[in-house]
Amino acid sequence: MLTDDPGTPEIGHWEINTAFTTEHRAGETVSEVPLVDINFGLRERVQLKYEVPWLRLSDRTGRHEGLGNPLVGVKWRFYDAGEKAWQLSTFPQLEFNNPGSRSDERGLVGHGLSVILPFQAMKDFGVFSVNADVGYIGRSHGGDEWFGGFAIGREVTHGVALAAELHGDFDAHFRDAVLTTNFGARVDLSKRHTLLVSVGRELHQASGPNATLIAYLGLQTRL
């Protein structure tokens, strides 16, 4: 799902998400094959993150592949009133070009450095839980952005949870917007492994054709 939550791995433990994603719109398909997302519980309520994809772009000019931009960050859950109460976090992150990859020259990634400054909130209401995030992206090249979204989830049976979300991305002046909806599921396969699945589409895209398919299939491993 695009909307993050304040959750962090247990202190001293790893949470590794290995996923395959795809986003298709008229004349173009972008896939991450795979996306590797590594998280570590540094302290109680503090998480370190490193994420990087291998990108594949298929369009009218052919197929192009390359290493995507790494993403590094630190999540801090600065307010935690308990498992069923409000939780709040911030998650500053940096995205940058891999030295020597030339993926930006091939149009696979944006050029330069991006600073992501988001906040997350979550509350479990018993029947369902709600989480939301809002944040700002500052870029050294290209336009800055705002983003925000909310998701509603519910455990339908032991080890199986369903969720739905609405997420938006906006330019710095709130003139152009992209609105995305997603539906997802978490299925516990074992004590250490969880299957993560989501599928959605863009409802509105101001600058081009809507993405008609946004899909994610991943395996979360906890160590």
What is the per-residue pLDDT across 35-72, written as a single tens digit (0 to 9) for each? Answer: 999 999 999 999 999 999 999 999 988 899 999 999 99
Q: Give a yes or no: residue 149 inside a domain.
A: yes
Q: Give a yes or no: residue 173 inside a domain.
A: yes
**115-133 b/e with 16+ CB inside 10 Å = b?**
ebebbbbbebeeeebebbb
Q: In sequence order, what are the residues at sequence separation of 6 or more whose Cβ sits closer than 8 angstroms to the Cβ of residue 166?
A: 149, 150, 151, 179, 180, 181
**8: amino acid identity, one letter:** T
Q: Give a yes or no: residue 1 inside a domain.
A: no
Q: Give a yes or no: residue 206 inside a domain.
A: yes
What is the domain count for the chain? 1
**2: amino acid identity, one letter:** L
Q: Give a yes or no: residue 201 inside a domain.
A: yes
What separation, in Å, do the N-terminal and C-terminal C-alpha atoms of the chain show? Answer: 22
**Does residue 191 register a pLDDT over 90?**
yes
Domain range for residue 101?
14-222
Computed over every residue of the chain, the mean pLDDT equals 95
> CATH code at 74?
2.40.160.40
Q: Give a yes or no: residue 195 inside a domain.
A: yes
Q: Which two tokens stand for residue 157?
A: 């049976």
Q: Worst-scoring range by mean pLDDT, 61-65, 111-115, 122-126, 190-194?
A: 61-65
**Strands in 96-192 per DSSP E:** 114-124, 129-139, 145-157, 160-171, 177-188
Q: Give a yes or no: residue 37 inside a domain.
A: yes
Q: pLDDT band at residue 175, thresholds of 50, 70 and 90?
A: confident
- Cα 220 off chain centre by: 14
Rounded Cα–Cα distance for residues 193 and 133 (Å): 26
Predicted pLDDT of residue 107: 83
Q: Give a yes or no: residue 6 inside a domain.
A: no
